[in-house]
Structure formats: structure tokens, C-alpha cells
């Protein structure tokens, strides 16, 4: 079982504060499925403007967090070097079901569906506790820096 802590995630993802949106990875099904975790705190910079009186994590950042989980996972299992960078190719069927609030632990379940011609397809679901809060189909590729 692959488990990446924050120091290991920083080695495989180019993202840094304030855009690094995953704190830990745990492999669930070897080569196929991974859980990623994000501890959502009131100190997140996006809460200053989204929304000051009712802080809600933006849905687009939940999708980005799922993509970072998938990118970090594929970087490890396919041994993608640091001379390459992950790019989104597409996002389909994105749905946002419940708000994510300060104090929540966002658990992202990302499943690798296919890899063809350098394009990776994922199914992503985000949960707070047992409640599904968002889901999307994601596509990404790795390109030279």
C-alpha cells in the first residue's frame, strides 16, 4: 500500500501554498484507486472572499484537489520524472452536492479508469465523512516542462 505524507507529495507535485490542496495519500486498490485527504481550515486564503460571512470551499478547488490526488498518484505508480508537469485535458460531469466548510476533512477517492496515448482518465469523488460532496470525471496528461 502506497502512503504519501506531505513531504513526499511535495516531491511529486509542483503545487505550493496556497494552491497545494492535498495533505496525504493512501492507496486503496493497487494501481487503480487512491484516497487523498485535505484538512480544510478557516486559514485557507480563499475563505477571505468566498464568502466572508459564510465560508464555503469553492467547487472548482474541490475538483482541483481531486486532480492533484490523481496526478500525484500517477506520478508515483508510473514513475513520472520531475522533468514533466501535469496538465488538465478535460473535466466532465462535475457535480457539487454539499458545501465544504472550515473544519471539514475532505476525502477524495480517485480511480484511474484508463491511460491511452499519454492521456489519463480518472473518476473522482469527494466526501466529508460519508457524505458525497462533489464528483467529476477528469482527464490529464504529462508534458515536458
Return the domain boundaries, the chain. 3-144
Express each pLDDT in 3-42 by its tens digit: 999 999 999 999 999 999 999 999 999 889 999 999 999 9
Which CATH code of 3.20.20.70, 3.40.50.300, 1.10.10.10, 3.10.129.10 fits the domain covering 3-144?
3.10.129.10
Contact 22, 65 (CB under 8 A): yes
Are the C-beta atoms of residues 87 and 74 closer than 8 Å to each other?
no
Give the separation between CA 114 and CA 123, rounded to whole angstroms. Answer: 10
Peptide bond just before 43 cis, omega within 30 deg: no
Where in the sequence numbering do the catalytic residues fall?
50
pLDDT tens-place string over residues 41-93: 999 999 999 999 999 999 999 999 999 999 999 999 999 988 898 899 999 99
Stated pTM of the model = 0.96
Cα 31 from Cα 133, distance rounded (Å): 25
C-alpha cell at 9: 507529495
Helices of type H across the chain:
6-12, 59-77
Amino acid at each position: 500500500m502506497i502512503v504519501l505524507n506531505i513531504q513526499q507529495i511535495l516531491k511529486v507535485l509542483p503545487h505550493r501554498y496556497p494552491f497545494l490542496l492535498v495533505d496525504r495519500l493512501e492507496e486503496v486498490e493497487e494501481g487503480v484507486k487512491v484516497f487523498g485527504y485535505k484538512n480544510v481550515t478557516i486559514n485557507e486564503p480563499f475563505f477571505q472572499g468566498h464568502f466572508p460571512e459564510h465560508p464555503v470551499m469553492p467547487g472548482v478547488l474541490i475538483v482541483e484537489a481531486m486532480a492533484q490526488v490523481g496526478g500525484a498518484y500517477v506520478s508515483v505508480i508510473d514513475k513520472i520524472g520531475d522533468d514533466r508537469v501535469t496538465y488538465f485535458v478535460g473535466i466532465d460531469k462535475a457535480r457539487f452536492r454539499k458545501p465544504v466548510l472550515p473544519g471539514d476533512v475532505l476525502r477524495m477517492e480517485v480511480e484511474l479508469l484508463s491511460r491511452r496515448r499519454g492521456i489519463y482518465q480518472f473518476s473522482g469523488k469527494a466526501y466529508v465523512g460519508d457524505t458525497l460532496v462533489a464528483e467529476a470525471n477528469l482527464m490529464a496528461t504529462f508534458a515536458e516542462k
